[in-house]
């Protein structure tokens, strides 16, 4: 018994810079691929961080829910969908997986939809650059409970010490009347090394609990604060670099959408091959990290 990924969805087109639109499209795609109706989604969790115009209220999850056409019926006996934002930097998606697992294991919902994605608040940029190192995109994971021996294991988290490795903020001293379109990103000179340190600790905890000595059947999907980060993590863990799966990084780091996009890409390319499990590892800000093992179901070669 476990909680598995029923389907995925992604949105990376450059006809919009709105993360609400991208996440809504990804959500719709995941439902279409799974053949699941909108009224079968009990909970929507938005794990994105950087949002259109620095929106604070209402919860962006509600805006994405509306864009996806989920839970828009208001008659007395219509099904209800609860949505909320879960924000914890690059680890947000895995934190959301932990919450979704608890919900599904109690039977509180038939499906939980996790959406993620980021954009520059000005909506004037699509690709990452030195000033704002995150690409605009959206992703979705549709989760369900299953009686099969597949799905997510226990989530392991690590909080590092010291000052934040990465900080994002609106500089209130200089923003003037343009604050809704501004964001400042500060990265410590050694930010990647510090993220790697906590990522290794979280990943080793997940592997140790599973008592795995042979890592040949493990595929690694990790955050992408740099294109080299997943392979650096693989080296530190003793996982073959050929077992690393990454998202399309043509426009830069998808940030919170990185893990779902990498999984979607691997499923679409049928590239898991002989791997039986995926080690998901996310690291960011704090520095903090999260890791979880995912036992793969039988794969068909097309995005579920």
Q: Is residue 175 part of a domain?
A: no
31 and 137 co-located in one domain? yes
Q: What's the CATH number where 91 sits?
A: 3.40.47.10
Residue matched to tokens 């997940």: 206
At 129 the pLDDT is 94
pLDDT tens digits, one per residue of 234-250: 999 999 999 999 999 99
Q: Is residue 164 part of a domain?
A: no
Domain total in the chain: 2
Give the DSSP letter string of 132-196.
Answer: S-B--EEEEEEEEEESSS-EE---EEEE--SS-SEEEE--TTT-TT-GGG--EEEE-TTHHHHHH
Q: Is residue 246 part of a domain?
A: yes
Q: Is residue 264 part of a domain?
A: yes
47 and 130 co-located in one domain? yes
pLDDT at 76 over 70: no
Q: Is residue 226 part of a domain?
A: yes
Kindly report the pTM of this predicted structure.
0.95
133 and 38 co-located in one domain? yes
10 and 139 co-located in one domain? yes
217 and 143 co-located in one domain? no
Q: Which domain holds residue 204?
A: 189-295
What length does the chain have?
304
Q: Is residue 42 part of a domain?
A: yes
194 and 244 co-located in one domain? yes
pLDDT tens digits, one per residue of 104-130: 999 999 999 999 999 999 999 899 999
Average pLDDT over residues 70-79: 74
């Amino acid at each position: 018994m476990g909680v598995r990924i029923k389907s995925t969805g992604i949105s990376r087109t450059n006809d919009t810079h709105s993360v609400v639109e991208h996440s809504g499209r990804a959500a719709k795609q995941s439902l279409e691929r799974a053949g699941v109706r909108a009224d079968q989604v009990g909970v929507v969790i938005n794990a994105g961080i950087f949002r259109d115009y620095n929106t604070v209220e209402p919860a962006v999850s509600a805006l994405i829910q509306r864009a996806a056409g989920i839970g828009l019926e208001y008659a007395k006996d219509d099904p209800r969908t609860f949505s909320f934002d879960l924000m914890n930097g690059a680890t947000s998606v895995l934190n959301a997986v932990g919450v979704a697992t608890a919900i599904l294991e109690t039977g509180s919902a038939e499906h939980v939809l996790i959406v993620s994605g980021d954009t520059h608040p000005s909506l004037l940029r699509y690709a990452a650059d030195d000033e704002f190192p995150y690409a605009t995109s959206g992703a979705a994971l549709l989760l369900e409970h299953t009686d099969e021996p597949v799905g997510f294991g226990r989530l392991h988290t690590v909080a590092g010490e010291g000052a934040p490795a990465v900080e994002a903020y609106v500089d209130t001293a200089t923003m003037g009347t343009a604050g809704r379109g501004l964001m400042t990103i500060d990265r410590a000179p050694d930010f990647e090394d510090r993220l790697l340190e906590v990522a290794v600790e979280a990943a080793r905890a997940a592997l140790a609990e599973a008592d795995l000595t042979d890592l040949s059947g493990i595929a690694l999907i990790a955050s992408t604060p740099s294109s080299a980060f997943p392979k650096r993590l693989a080296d530190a863990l003793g996982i073959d670099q050929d077992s690393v799966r990454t998202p399309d990084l043509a426009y830069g780091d998808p940030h919170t959408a990185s893990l779902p996009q990498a999984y979607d890409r691997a499923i679409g390319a049928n590239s898991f091959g002989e791997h039986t499990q995926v080690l998901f590892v996310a690291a960011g800000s704090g520095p903090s990290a999260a890791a979880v093992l995912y036992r793969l179901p039988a794969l068909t070669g097309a995005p579920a």
